[in-house]
Amino acid sequence: VVTYNSLMHGYCLQNQVDEARTLLDLMVKMGYSANVTTYSTLMNGYCKVHRVEDALNLYREMCDRGLVPDVVTYTTLVDGFCRIGKVEAAIEVFSEMTATGQSPDVTTFAVLLDGLCKCKHLDKAMRLVQDLEDRKVTWDIYIYNILMNGMCISGKVDYAMELFSSLESKGLKPNTVTFNTLINGLCKEDRRSEALKLLGEMKDKGCSPNAATYDVLIRGFLKPNEMSKVAELVREMSSSGFSVD
């Protein structure tokens, strides 16, 4: 079963969820029984490509076969609904999971927060943060990144910068995504010089810029046609080993 699950995971990573699904039928024919991981893997494969209906069908199928969905299964579904913008449905799944006595973990909160943030429901996201605190779930850098991104999306870049400043005091290190998120937020607001300052800061802190970092900055400087800066960034990007296309 573990072998089949790993194979399915591999297919899903290559966006070949239908092939992965075929393996489910095959393993049953071979007399193996799928477990919760099997179903969660496939459901995630479907959710990633926005085929949440198919994921739901698998969810029903696994329940029919007497399998009990766990926190990963529920989190996968919450994520799926968020990805297609159905945050209300995601919240329902979240409630259903707590109703069945499963505790949402930091990842469950992260996906739901991300869904709320991306729909610009920053207020609701903040209420969920309160819930997260009440449950004594410890924050990780993903939670911070998601909230900072949500603030930027909702036009509150300064709040995001404030949250960023509070990271060290919480004992958390910003990562590349943290900086990218803020640089993106600043560039979207045409605050390019501050964005450049963050690029410097990330390097100083030993946090390597990646292709997304340069992508965001280059787009930012292309907008006002600051071509010398664009050229400089492009040079830096390719000398760092990233392809410039």
Partner RNA sequence: CGGGCCCUGGAC
Cα angle 3-7-11, degrees, rounded to a multiple of 5: 170
> Which residues are CB-neighbours of 94 under 8 A, at least 6 positions away?
74, 78, 104, 108, 112
Tell me if 154 contacts RNA by CB under 7 A: no
| Residue 233 amino acid letter | L
Residue 202 makes contact with RNA by CB under 7 A: no
By CB under 7 A, tell whether 211 contacts RNA: yes
| Contacts with 40 (C-beta within 8 Å, 6 or more apart), sequence order | 70, 72, 73, 76
**Residue 178 is a binding residue for RNA (CB under 7 A):** yes
Residues in binding contact with RNA, number by CB under 7 A:
56
CA distances from 154 to 121, 183, 185 (A): 8, 15, 10
CA-CA distances (angstroms) from residue 64 to 45, 60, 92, 106, 161? Answer: 20, 6, 20, 28, 48
Residue 221 CB, nearest approach to RNA (Å)? 13
| Binds RNA by CB under 7 A, chosen from 23, 27, 41, 87 | 41
Tell me which of 19, 61, 70, 131 binds RNA, using CB under 7 A: 70
Please give the residues from 96 up to 125 whose contact with RNA meets the rule CB under 7 A.
104-111, 114, 118
By CB under 7 A, name the one of 27, 56, 75, 192 that touches RNA: 75
**Candidates 20-28, 158-166, 199-207, 211-219 — which segment interacts with RNA by CB under 7 A?**
211-219
Question: What would the x/- binding string for RNA be over residues 20 to 39, using CB under 7 A?
Answer: ---------------xxxxx
| Cβ proximity of 242 and 210 under 8 Å | yes
Give the containing element (helix H, strand E) for 48.
helix 36-48
- Which residues have a Cβ under 8 Å from the Cβ of 190 and sit 6 or more positions away? 220, 223, 224
Rg of the chain's alpha carbons, rounded to an integer? 21
Mark the segment that binds RNA (CB under 7 A) among 3-11, 123-131, 156-164, 230-238.
3-11
208 binds RNA (CB under 7 A): no
| Residue from 24, 25, 50 nearest 37 by CA | 24
71 binds RNA (CB under 7 A): yes
Rule CB under 7 A: say whether 132 interacts with RNA. no
Assess 191 for contact with RNA (CB under 7 A). no
Residues that bind RNA (CB under 7 A): 1-2, 5-6, 9, 15, 35-41, 44, 48-51, 70-73, 75-76, 79, 104-111, 114, 118, 140-143, 145-146, 149, 175-178, 180-181, 184, 210-213, 215-216, 219
